[in-house]
Amino acid sequence: MTVAENSRKGLVGRGVSRVDASDKVRGLARYADDLDVPGCWHGVIVRSPVSRGTLRSVKLDPACDASKAVVVTAQDIPGPNIVVMHDRAMPLLAFDEIRYIGEPLAVVAAPTRRQAIEVAEHVRIEIDELPAILTTAELVRKFKAGELKTGVEQNAPRGVGGFAGGAPESPDVLCSQSIVKGDVEKGFAEADQIVEAEYTAGHQEQLYIEPQGLVAIPQKDGGILIEGSMQCPYYIQHELHEALNLPAGKLRVRQAAVGGAFGGKEEFPSMLAGYCALPAMKAKKPVKIVYDRHQDILYTTKRHPVWVRHKTGVKKDGTITALKVDFLLDGGAYLTLSDVVMYRGILHAAMGYRCDHVFVNGIVGRTNTFPSGAFRGFGAPQAIWGVESHVDALARACGMTPHEFRLKNCLRVGDTTPTGMVLRDSVGSPAVLEEALKTSRFADKFAKCSRGRKGARKWYGIGLSFFAHGSGFTGDGESKIGTKVALDLGFENASPVVFIRVSSTEMGQGALTVLSQMAADGLGVDLDRVRYPLPDTGLVPNSGPTVASRTTMVVGSTVYSAACKLRQRLEESAGRPIAGSKSFEQIASKYLAEHGPLRVVEAFKLPDTVRWDQATFRGDAYPAFAWGCNVAEVEVDTRTLEIKVKKVTACFDVGRVINPVLVKGQVEGGLTQALGYAVMEKIGIKGGRFDANRMQTYVIPTALDVPEYDITFVEYPYEFAAPGAKGVGEMPMDGLAPAIANAIEAATGIRMTDLPITPEKLFKEVTTKCAKDAK
């Protein structure tokens, strides 16, 4: 079932060129900083210099001539001082308690950036400093000491059901949630041995190449137009209309070309839009803020640092009897959307393998650091880092190879997941595992690994990971959010075309192209009859945010279904079928001439069979899972302990592949981002502040760092959402880090449990091991 390029009739399944390629290769795409906004002012944010404290005052030095500028503080916020997020707790501008270094206290705007900076330098702040918690390690210490009290620990009787977050006991806990299946203690009692280990990873920066940037433009009707770099136009409206005291309709949001996002432009632009809108409303001028790279690294969201502890019961024959997982994320200073990140984390933390007794305990702890946020994978990479490292430990404990153990235990059709979901349809397991093992010749190569052999110049190792990724929102969320799409039939230069009206954004992943392909197939026309302008909340219905690997599956299938309906309407009115673009033109022109423009609106609905109980975290956690297997081959230089990832073989089931060229590109990019997470990308907290603030110190892979990629797809379409795609965007981020760690163990004989895996950490472990061996 491996896909060959261009194997199908129609456009779905064909590697057509991107519809936005021409503008991009000619330098014509207009990103936030390229927007030509006449009379635009520039905003500069005044930030807290301390991690925690009580704000006494924010004042402009009276000696400063600010006649050409506006200064806004919390007092200037027209509505309630909140960015809505998930708990209505985060202020747009701090006014009382300051909770992290860099927290915005005021915004200065002026006709030039220089003037704004000069005035901002004269804003005087008085703060009474308070003690702060600055590191994930401190949260872990508290957790182990029993100081992070959660509802889960106190209220969830074993084997009965989870306990939904609610009001946690400890102020250092932002939220908590458990997953309970069977009776984990009973499972441990059945085990021949119990394997325990902890795995950790720090922050990861999205490092999209285009920094954050937005402009707020006051409108004649008293409203505000926000334009620029973002993933989710409707989020901005939802997050800010209260604070700005504007009805949703008067807070219009329009996307510009986006130079990469990876989650970093999911919720963060909602804050930035506020920093632009406030001075814009006060000055009645357009105000633009484009971060430079220093600001962008220091003052935007990152991937949540994680500490995860696995305790697993196994039998001698390799059967898993109990899976107990503690999953702790560092949420930073405010919840924002960390609850949902943690949910996705715990839903993937014990996923992938058959086990009757599972207990997963998820906590988001609070530190006085920049709020952690969305980043490709959204909790799943952290969870899979833990479980897929641990599975190798289990295999070894049972005297099995990593692949035998996975093949024995992996979930298959008919098995149940930790939330009790029975896998029925579209299950790419064990196909992805078998395919990747075969293409990589894993078994042969695994037998030849160095395992720290003395005297070798290079150590070779191969390792794998196997995982699932829930496509779309958790449970029945996709039905609840009411995804709506519209297709407009109209004229463009006297020629009929169909406009896709959705809020889903292009940020590099290829949404414009694959949704256009699906629309064109639904209509039975060529790509040149379809238009997909960048979203504008004034013109498009809410098709949901561009997140969670949902766009192709959920929005795409809804567009496809709307296109089929539109086609049907036209065919009925014409009394003959549309056979290609030519007949579409005739039929559509006639229709438009007789009836005027035609809009078809379609909403996404899940089948009734999807059942999810958010209170107990039981049921169908996702409409469907995509599946993946990564195999990494590494070489460790025994002279320096430098780690080189030589080759990555990966197989994915992402349902029906809509565009084989684009999907491969997206997967290669995602694997490269995961490579960085695994062995390179490092940003710590020093004195409450990120210790890297430049592209020179936050290091991502270059063209010379990437391994050879061998990527294949097996297709298990999600038939409910024709044409059958599942999620793909996040998957390539999920599993490479543990595959590399497993390969490093095969190469060196040393298990690395903290990301990124660097020569420095490896050296420390080697030294420790040598000291032990010497005794």
Partner 1 sequence: MKFLEDMDCAFPKNLQEALKLMADEKSRGRPIAGGTDLMVQWSSGVLPMPERAIDLSGLPELKGVSENTDSVVIGAAVTHAEMRRSPIVQVHLPSLAQAAATIGGAQIQARGTIAGSVANASPAGDLGPSLLITNGRVVVASKAGEREIELAKFFLGYRKIDLQPDELIVRFILPKIHAGCRESFRKLGPRAAQAISKVMGSYRGSAKGKEVKDFAVALGSVAPIPIRLPEFEQWIVGKEIGKKVLDEAEQRVAAMIKPIDDIRSTAEYRQWVSGRIVRGFLEELVAE
Partner 2 sequence: MKTITRIWKVNGEEKTVKVPPMRRLLDVLREDLGLKGAKEGCGEGECGTCTVLINGAPMVSCLIPAGQVRDGTEIMTVEGLEKTEGGRLLQEVYADKGSAQCGFCIPGMILSSYALLSRNPNPDEAAIREAHAGNLCRCTGYQKIVEAVQAAARKWPGNK
The binder of partner 2 chosen from 153, 356, 571, 668 (CB under 8 A) = 668
Taking CB under 8 A as the binding criterion, the range among 5-13, 200-208, 302-310, 354-362 that sits at the site for partner 2 is 200-208
Q: Is 89 in the site for partner 1 (CB under 8 A)?
A: no
How far apart are CB 65 and partner 1 at their closest, in Å? 16
Contact of 485 with 498, CB cutoff 8 Å: no
In angstroms, the CA 228 to CA 164 distance is 37
In angstroms, the CA 342 to CA 692 distance is 25
- Nearer CB in complex with partner 1: 512/680: 680
Sign of CA dihedral 406, 409, 411, 417: negative
The binder of partner 1 chosen from 680, 711, 739, 741 (CB under 8 A) = 680
Contact of 100 with 48, CB cutoff 8 Å: yes
Q: For residue 167, give every residue at least 6 positions away whose Cβ sits within 8 Å of its Cβ, in sequence order, or none.
A: 151
Q: Is 448 in the site for partner 1 (CB under 8 A)?
A: no
DSSP state of 133: -
In angstroms, the CA 771 to CA 775 distance is 7
- Nearer CB in complex with partner 1: 448/764: 764
Q: Is 661 in the site for partner 2 (CB under 8 A)?
A: yes
Site for partner 1 in 96-135 (CB under 8 A): 114, 117-118, 121
How far apart are CB 176 and partner 2 at their closest, in Å? 33
The string of DSSP codes covering 65-132 is --TT-EEEEGGG-SS-S-B-TTTS-B-SS--SEE-STT-EEEEEEESSHHHHHHHHTTEEEEEEE---
Q: Which partner in partner 1, partner 2, none is near 25 (CB below 5 to 8 A by kind)?
A: partner 2
Taking CB under 8 A as the binding criterion, the range among 11-19, 234-242, 519-527, 614-622 that sits at the site for partner 2 is 11-19
Smallest CA-to-CA distance from 725 within 606, 609, 551 is with 551
How far apart are CB 69 and partner 1 at their closest, in Å? 15
- Nearer CB in complex with partner 2: 397/534: 534
In angstroms, the CA 317 to CA 228 distance is 57
Mark 292-331 with x for binding to partner 2 (rule: CB under 8 A) and - for no binding: xx--------------------------------------
Q: Which partner in partner 1, partner 2, none is near 709 (CB below 5 to 8 A by kind)?
A: partner 2
Q: Which partner in partner 2, partner 1, none is near 642 (CB below 5 to 8 A by kind)?
A: partner 1
The binder of partner 1 chosen from 220, 454, 639, 775 (CB under 8 A) = 639
Mark 475-504 with x for binding to partner 1 (rule: CB under 8 A) and - for no binding: ------------------------------
In angstroms, the CA 570 to CA 529 distance is 15
Taking CB under 8 A as the binding criterion, the range among 255-263, 474-482, 555-563, 571-579 that sits at the site for partner 2 is 255-263
In angstroms, the CA 48 to CA 97 distance is 11
How far apart are CB 20 and partner 2 at their closest, in Å? 7
Taking CB under 8 A as the binding criterion, the range among 205-213, 344-352, 631-639, 734-742 that sits at the site for partner 2 is 205-213
- Nearer CB in complex with partner 2: 430/660: 660
Q: Which partner in partner 1, partner 2, none is near 133 (CB below 5 to 8 A by kind)?
A: none
Taking CB under 8 A as the binding criterion, the range among 14-22, 129-137, 218-226, 752-760 that sits at the site for partner 1 is 752-760
Taking CB under 8 A as the binding criterion, the range among 101-109, 143-151, 226-234, 759-767 that sits at the site for partner 1 is 759-767
Structure tokens at 116: 């704004």
Using only C-alpha atoms, the chain has a radius of gyration, in whole angstroms, of 26
Taking CB under 8 A as the binding criterion, the range among 153-161, 308-316, 696-704, 718-726 that sits at the site for partner 1 is 696-704
Smallest CA-to-CA distance from 224 within 291, 289, 287, 290 is with 287
Assign residue 717 a region: left if phi > 0, alpha if psi is -120 to 50, beta otherwise?
A: beta
615 CB neighbour count, 10 Å cutoff: 9
Sign of CA dihedral 112, 118, 122, 123: positive
Q: Is 27 in the site for partner 2 (CB under 8 A)?
A: yes
Residue type, 338: S
Q: Which partner in partner 1, partner 2, none is near 254 (CB below 5 to 8 A by kind)?
A: none
Q: Which partner in partner 1, partner 2, none is near 671 (CB below 5 to 8 A by kind)?
A: partner 2
Angle of helix 580-595 versus helix 557-574 axis, rounded to 10: 70
Return the half-sphere exposure (C-beta side, CA atoms, 13 A cut-off) of residue 10. Answer: 16
Summarize as ranges the residues that interact with partner 1 (CB under 8 A): 114, 117-118, 121, 294, 639-642, 680, 682, 691-692, 694, 696-697, 699-705, 758-760, 763-764, 767
